[in-house]
């Protein structure tokens, strides 16, 4: 279950960043999840709930924003969605080709698993005057 190690790493990174700020409480963590990661949303959310207990993230919500696959053709210059990223690829690597000319492509979007933002409540900091 790769989702547990991914979420563990994300939580560690978020906690390091939170340590740099006056954060009272975390309400939501926004994660962009590319279709080509093949990570399960339910498994990510479950792992987040379990691993965030006892931390500043305890009680916060993991909000997953899907990122569809976007490709760019090396030959004809097509840029847009791929038409053959469906089905069960668990354990396999999908072969992506240009839907226009059938040539090789570069993946522009759809591979990321990135924390985009964190919604927090900051501690009251007295103003010195």
* Helical axes 2-18 vs 41-51, angle rounded to 10°: 50
Kindly report the pTM of this predicted structure.
0.80
What CATH code is assigned to 2-122? 3.30.2320.80
C-alpha Rg value of the chain to the nearest Å = 19
Supply the pLDDT for residue 86: 52
Chunked into runs of 10 residues, the chain (129 residues) has average pLDDT values of 91 95 93 92 97 96 96 96 63 78 93 95 76
**Phi, psi of 51, rounded to the nearest 5 degrees:** -75, -20
| Element housing 65 (H / E) | strand 61-67
């Amino acid at each position: 279950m790769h989702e547990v190690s991914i979420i563990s790493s994300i939580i560690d990174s978020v906690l390091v960043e939170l340590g740099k700020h006056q954060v009272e409480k975390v309400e939501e963590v926004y994660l962009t999840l590319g279709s080509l990661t093949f990570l399960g949303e339910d498994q990510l959310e479950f792992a987040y709930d379990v691993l965030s207990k006892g931390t500043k993230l305890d009680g916060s919500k993991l909000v997953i924003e899907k990122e569809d696959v976007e490709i760019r053709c090396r030959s004809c210059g097509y840029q847009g969605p791929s038409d053959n990223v469906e089905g069960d690829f668990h354990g396999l690597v999908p072969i992506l080709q240009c839907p226009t000319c059938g040539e090789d492509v570069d993946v522009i979007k759809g591979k990321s698993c990135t924390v985009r933002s964190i919604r927090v409540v900051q501690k009251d900091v007295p103003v010195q005057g």
